[in-house]
Amino acid sequence: MRTTVGIIGAGPAGLLLARLLHRAGIDSVVLESRDRAHVEQRQRAGVLEQGTVDALRAAGAGERMDREGLRHDGIELRFDGRRHRVDFPGRTGGRSVTVYAQTEVCKDLIALQLAEGGPLLFEAEALGVEGAESDRPRVRFRRQGTEDELECRYVVGCDGFWGVARKAFPASVTRVFERSYPYAWLGILADVAPSHDELVYARHDRGFALLSLRSPSVSRLYLQVPAATRAEEWTDDRTWTELESRFETRDGWTLRRGPVTQKSVTPMRSFVHEPMRHGRLFLAGDAAHIVPPTGAKGLNLAVGDAITLARALAYEKETDSAALLDAYSATCLRRVWQAERFSYDLTTLLHRAPGATAFDARLQLARLERIASSRAAETDLAEAYTGLWA
């Protein structure tokens, strides 16, 4: 098999890249190791920055998002029994975010790709990338028990944190920056209307909690738990009771309970692989970087990479100049490190680290108090949350 751009992975990075390339008249083949149902059912994040919304619309993939996505003009910070709302448009000159689940973004992009785009092969597992430094890099893959090769002009690893593309970077050119956190998130999906119409980020002496949503009738909630926790350790009743304590306010706010339909534990990690390009091999999305989920930046970073790379490939096609391709890694890494910084700050602001002292707790409260009482500090949070690029 041959193509211009070989894309490994059909998450948001790979799917949006394929879509944008198709619109630019550049052909591609997407190899995805899992089946379609698995990719469309995975529970992931759900907050889209304005730039992500604009990009999906411009790619012709915004129709259902515009109908079903929910515009959110703020978040609530909850600490010390208090509630503080951050007004996004008021602090950022009009920016907001849209709540629309990542799985729905993927479903929309898959449907478009299958109807109009180049081949999207499910259950096609990339085994390795060869010849990254040559003119014709190749992806070895296995499909229906048979090994095959995809010969390309460029290969893009959009294969997530556990993918294979990164392994084709020689150790001599690679630097990895990493931090794992001594806690994780227990996430539940519940068939109950969200107890608040905006996301609530709660800092409590017992640990962090987050109230989010998937639709007006489905709540998504998270609890900070110790790193090695198994979801089975948390019965529904224990989970709701713990959520209630962490969301508690002095004004008598109540949390609505409902049937839990899904429960899982997500580890927390920061990770950056530099550079994001070697020869004719590029990395995009989680394959190159991970942020802890607190800032809701993972999906938005993946979209940012896909846009930057699609633009660079289209520019090369039109002008024969590789200038934007040469700048790809540095362009993306600037944004990635801003997202790493923001996600780290928000994570350490709101989570209780094991062994945290009373001093640490008071500092967290002072940082929150600062956001609640300073226009400048609140603007800093609102700008980063709604998007680091416009």
Q: Residue 22's closest CA among 153, 139, 112?
A: 112
CB 188 within 8 A of CB 220: yes
- Tokens 């149902």 locate to 37
Taking CA atoms, 187 is separated from 47, 79, 243, 289, in Å, by 15, 20, 11, 22
Does residue 385 have an active-site annotation?
A: yes
Residues 72-111 that bind ligand APR (CB under 6 A): 102
Q: Does 212 bind ligand PHB (CB under 6 A)?
A: yes
Q: Is 344 a catalytic residue?
A: no
The residue range among 11-19, 55-63, 245-253, 381-389 that interacts with ligand APR, by the rule CB under 6 A, is 11-19
Comparison of 90 and 118: residue with beta carbon closer to ligand APR: 118
Looking only at residues 35 through 64 of this chain, which bind ligand APR when binding is defined by CB under 6 A?
A: 39, 44-45
- Is 167 a residue of the active site? no
Please report whether residue 300 would count as binding ligand PHB according to CB under 6 A. no
- From ligand PHB, ligand APR, none, interface partner of 212 (C-beta below 5 to 8 A by class): ligand PHB
Q: What residue has token string 């040559």?
A: 134
Known catalytic residue: 263? no
**288 CB-contact burial (10 Å; exposed 0-12 / middle 13-18 / buried 19+):** buried
Task: Give the burial string for 211-229 (b: 16+ CB within 10 Å, else e).
Answer: bbbbbeebbbbbbbbeeeb
- Spatial CA neighbour of 88 closest among 198, 225, 217: 198
Give me the catalytic one of 100, 201, 222, 328: 201
Q: Which residue is nearest to ligand PHB (CB)?
A: 212
* Cβ nearer to ligand APR, comparing 43 with 249: 43
Q: Is 126 in the site for ligand APR (CB under 6 A)?
A: yes
Site membership for ligand PHB, residue 293 (CB under 6 A): yes
Residue 351 is a catalytic residue: no
Answer yes or no: are the C-beta atoms of 17 and 284 closer than 8 Å. Answer: yes
Q: Which of 3, 18, 32, 350 binds ligand APR (CB under 6 A)?
A: 32
Contact string 267-286 vs ligand APR (x = CB under 6 A): ------------------xx
Strand runs labelled E in 191-259: 199-203, 209-215, 218-226
Which has the closest alpha carbon to 21: 116, 163, 144? 116
Touching ligand PHB, residues 34-53 (CB under 6 A): 45-47
Q: Quick one: which of 163, 194, 279, 387 contacts ligand APR (CB under 6 A)? A: 163
Binding segment for ligand PHB among 57-65, 156-164, 292-300, 352-360 (CB under 6 A)?
292-300
CB contact at 8 A, 125 and 142: yes
Helices and strands: H and E segment counts in the chain = 11, 20
Distance of alpha carbon 83 from the chain centroid: 26
The distance of closest approach from Cβ of residue 293 to ligand PHB in the complex, given in angstroms and rounded to an integer, is 4
Q: How far is the CB of 385 from ligand PHB (least distance, A)?
A: 9
294: contact with ligand PHB by CB under 6 A: yes
Q: Is the torsion defined by CA of 230, 348, 304, 47 positive or negative?
A: positive
Cis status, amide bond into 275, omega within 30 of 0 = yes
- Nearest-angstrom CA–CA distance, 101 and 68: 10
End-to-end Cα spacing for the chain = 38
Catalytic residue of the set 72, 196, 289, 351? 72
- The residue assigned the tokens 């448009």 is 89
Interface characters, 299-338, with ligand APR (x: CB under 6 A):
x--x------------------------------------
Q: How far is the CB of 240 from ligand PHB (least distance, A)?
A: 18
Active-site residue set: 72, 201, 293, 297, 385
Residues of the shown chain interacting with ligand APR in the complex, contacts defined by CB under 6 A: 8-14, 31-34, 39, 44-45, 102, 125-126, 158-160, 162-164, 285-287, 298-299, 302
Residues of the shown chain interacting with ligand PHB in the complex, contacts defined by CB under 6 A: 45-47, 199, 212, 220, 293-294, 296
